[in-house]
Structure 1
């Protein structure tokens, strides 16, 4: 949230903050690692309280909480750092007690590339983060089991591995006989619609256009709204259409006021008011007007002049 530059500014300040705090500290940690707002510190147990009080006294708006290791184990980001009896350190994957192993379901309306990326990401994390070979095998089995419960089939793991290898394989030398213009030089993103998007991808590829897909319907789009939508009758500055309920005629008009107020005028039968074209149509044809089906056209504009009783 906020300005896109905010995280950059915050990180720049935190670099200044930690350099100053560490330089002035009465006790020094042997290791200080930070990623965004998570830190990993190695310090003598007797100095931990002094160091925490010192670093929390640097800025009244920045406070650190301290979480000591328990039985030689400390969580940092999504890794579990374990201090072994011989003094060595081993790393494995850490999952919070509330972790549910819920990932993008294989039956969800997403392109297959997104689902294969889930597999590759989890396998890549296991490969680079887990230091013990036996723990790495256990992590891979855990991933397969968790994804299996999310609908992933065994063949998807092999396909993801093949895709990963193809990405790491250098491109072959350019063929001198390659048709000019076939190499992708343009990149576009399309909404994903099962069956249609894949066909469009093949067509664009033949013209040298690379494509990627994004979900058309997301939880953010469905659930997140900064404010309640304005009711149709409360909208102003619109072009609207009132259909007849018994024939193909409709009235297209424009108003700068709220639509509800304008519709009241169309419905008015007061002798002192000149009847609108809608009222005249109702009187002359004895048709009922379908007020409930009044709609706002998408090409609405305050400066558009459209007003006449016209057939569709």
Structure 2
């Protein structure tokens, strides 16, 4: 994450209770009206003036009707769940609230780090100030409808959205993919009636999570044969995958004479994937790359890497030579494809 946390600080998260249905509409309209008045580019984007927009917005936000058991009801407070405008209005209100909260927070509980996604907030604060900060946040909304709950880190770990944030002994921080205990690995049924863009969004999100995973043992298969590359990295998987791909495609796209091609096949490149591309002229299945295991400890991660080799298939070869000589550079590491 690129941040460090001191021994006297903790990670803490806050969450708004039922944001949409507790969003104060009148206060939102005042906030939006003020922002529109200060928007110098508004006239370039629409022929409507501020009063026109506010009138239309008020009509949309205060005329929400729904039926239940044969009766028709009107929502008299908050924003409607499912309305496209609700998310925008609620987020604008939260932008105002967080600015007020941070600006007026007492010094002893003022967050050192603050990141928000809609109604979920992650903070770094001093130990034993969580309750005081929560009480402060709960006083910002003039209607008293917006209330926060909180959760402190537990044993140096705290879930935030779909990530698990872990503080290391040196104060640095790493992120893992977080799954609740009730998680079943079941997502949208592609044959369901959800819009296509939502189904594709699930796939894109899962792919993004995989690429941002660090401390991983991974596999990259070859399209031209049944061999696969097994490797490990302490960095983000997506970053390491890009490095592999760049090196391999540099060799693949190079215009070789017959003599240079022969020389390239005997040359040892940065990774065994590049060697395989140069020697066999095969295409790597980058889209088929996957994470096999995870471990934050470098030594045990390499052990896990070796354990994964026989599980993946019979056409994988990993050679790791440990040199007995003392010194920082006493290990020669070669991980690759082969029989």
TM-score grouping bracket, smaller chain normalisation = 0.3 to 0.5
TM-score relative to the length of structure 1: 0.39
Q: What TM-score do the two structures reach when normalised by structure 2?
A: 0.36
With a CA cutoff of 8 Å and minimum separation of 6, indicate the structure with the bigger relative contact order: 2
Q: Which has the larger radius of gyration?
A: 1
